[in-house]
A and B are shown apart, each in its own frame.
Chain A
Amino acid sequence: MKRLEGIAATLFGLAFLLLSFAVAVETIGRKVFNVSLQGVDELGGYVLAVGSAMAMLVALAGRAHVRIDLLHDLMPRSLRILLNSISIFAIALSAVVLVRMAHIAWSDSISYNSTAQTPWATPLKYPQGLWLASLALFALFACVLAAKLIASLARGDFEGIDRDFSPKGTKDELAEELEDIQARGAVAQATLPGSAKP
């Protein structure tokens, strides 16, 4: 699971890095040299479609999808487990609904041979096919998590559910950030030379 998260994040990052390179080249080319690589806009849309599914998967793997945890911590464990269960099922169901939507869009594009209204006139079945596949991966991931939750429920592993399915509060997120801040030596970077003495 952890590896899938890493792979999805890397794919996401590389895709957007390459995209920004292409867009930057296109923008400079168009404004400075009056030469346009047509279709970079369109490419950006396709990268977003596939990239957002990857990003939603990464966020899910990091328990990062926003949940308001104001009441969560005050609830008795039974209620917390109930809500954590509903939450993961709601995400899985939403993901399946998105897959269904993508499937409808994709099959329509196939039956009508739809093409994008752009200079490239891309047959939409290709980008939509990739979009469908990446959403399906997100949905599959969400369903696996839901299955894990059911297994934990069956085993009576309530602590595991609390640990793996509670919303990631500001506290946990902050802890990760503080690690990163320490790793990059932020405090030393920000200290004025010669201010070591109080």
Chain B
Amino acid sequence: MSAVAAGIFGFFLMVVLMLIGLPIAAVMLLLGMIGGMAAFGDAFLISSASVAWGTMSENGLTSIPLFVLLGELLLRSGMADRMYMVFAAWLGRLPGGLLHTNIGCCALFAATSGSSVATAATIGTVALPSLKKRGYPMRESLGSIAAGGTLGILIPPSINFIIYGSMTNTSVGKLFIAGIVPGLLLAGLFMVWIYVSSVVRKLDVAYDEVPFAERVRLLKHLVEPLIVFGIVIGSLYTGVATATESASLGVIAGLIFIIAGGRFSLSLMQNCFLSSARTSGIILFIVVGAFVLNLALSLTGIGEALTKWATSFGLGRVSLLMLLIVFYLILGMFMDTLSMMVATIPLTFPVVSAAGVDPIWFGVFIVIMCELGLITPPVGMNLYVVQGIRSDGGPISDVIMGSIPYAIIMILFTIVLIVFPQLVTWLPNLMRGA
């Protein structure tokens, strides 16, 4: 079997094993191990030993559990719950009202990277009762929460960027900064859509008239999350701190706010520890599996052969990326998004690099593809989370239909980024030392 055939066969085998429900991380680790040992015997085990130590003690990856811990602290201490109220008071009067609140809140919430189920569940739980009470149409409400919940992995800090950076040797700091403009633009486009569709359909809903003074007073609830966000992103942007350092500063700042606000308790900490350990364990196991698989692909030459094969078609940058949108759209319908990302980077990154695509830009591209995967059925995690929160017992097709406009916006937005890559690369290029 040629290396290309072996690679394609291996990839399909892997996807099938994942789809029938075997643990993603173990599938990658064991397939990599079997392939590597078939080619090199014990020598592969020995080289993978140093890769395993290198990966599991890599300082850059240390930021993953730290950012997860930061997210859990902010979420479980209730800091995020109060943010919803502020957005409701300020955005509730726009056409589309509280639907904007969902998007705005999700965008700011993105500054936390705890469990994504926890994030979507929180926003959904606090938002749905108000939406229902004020007569918002169900589909649109559910769709805005499911779609808003995807913004978290694009707006920094984002675990997906840390892993992408580590797998491709790309600066995590720059990836974080690169996510800001597209993340805000995408949130803005979601809000434009809500505005336009509400005006066109003459959506008429009740809203709470909050006096201006009260609205200003409410802004104090944004101070804490904005300071934490400012510390994390500011220290990265100015080059003062690495990802791990900025995460640590964020954790300490978050903890100070929790203690100062009288919200500190042992049970809160225990909760945060348990869920951040769990989330980190899931992620790190997948990362280790992906590194072993990656090693097997590169040592056996399969990765290189596949790259050569793919580049031999002579696709230009634009057609290659359009093809990848279709590839990720389909894969994202069926796969867990983080797994999709780590399983495909070893194959797609070398190909797009050879086509001259900027590695930072591609990081943003792949994360938007992951976002898309979160709301495309049949396996779109956010769809199920949002469906799980509603109490009216309606069908999941409501959530799916409500999310479709947002999925279309994401795809169109990606095409805009392909045409204007500067939207992504502009801000990180301004960074110090860039």
Residues of A in contact with B (beta carbons under 8 Å apart): 5-6, 8-10, 12-14, 16-17, 19-24, 26-28, 31, 41-42, 44-49, 51-60, 62, 64-72, 83, 86-87, 90-91, 93-94, 97-98, 100-102, 104-105, 108, 127-128, 131, 167, 170-171, 173-174, 177-178, 180-181, 184-187, 189-195, 198
Contacts and interface: CB of A to CB of B under 8 A. Distances in A.
Given A105-B52, A189-B85, 4 more contacts: A12-B276, A20-B247, A52-B56, A174-B384
Q: Interface majority SS on B: helix, strand, loop or mixed?
A: helix
Contacts of B29: 94, 97-98
A146 to B, nearest CB: 12
A86 B408 CA distance: 38
Given A46-B57, A131-B57, A189-B82, A23 B210 contact: no
Chain A interface main SS type:
helix
A8 B277 CA distance: 8
Interface string B371-390: 00000001101001100110
B21 interface: yes
Contact of B69 (A16, A24, A66): A16
A157 B76 CA distance: 38
Nearest to A194: B208
A186 to B, nearest CB: 4
B278 A64 contact: yes
Given A178-B389, A192-B85, A68 B379 contact: yes
B22 A83 contact: yes
6 contacts: A16-B65, A21-B248, A27-B240, A55-B284, A189-B82, A190-B84
Contact of B277 (A13, A44, A128, A131): A13
Contacts of B214: 193
The number of chain B residues touching the other chain, given as a range, is 35 or more
Contacts of A16: 65-66, 69, 251, 276
Interface in B310-343: 334-336, 338-339
B208 A189 contact: no
A189 B122 CA distance: 11
Contact of A49 (B53, B121, B381, B385): B53
B122 A65 contact: no
B411 interface: no
B30 interface: yes
B216 interface: no
The 10 closest A-B pairs by CB, nearest first: A13-B273, A59-B281, A55-B281, A23-B248, A45-B57, A20-B248, A190-B126, A189-B81, A104-B49, A90-B26
A105 B49 contact: yes
B288 to A, nearest CB: 7
B181 interface: no
Given A10-B270, A101-B49, A68 B19 contact: yes
B65 A55 contact: yes
Contact of A187 (B48, B52, B126, B241): B126
B281 A56 contact: yes
A184 B252 contact: no
A56 B281 CA distance: 4
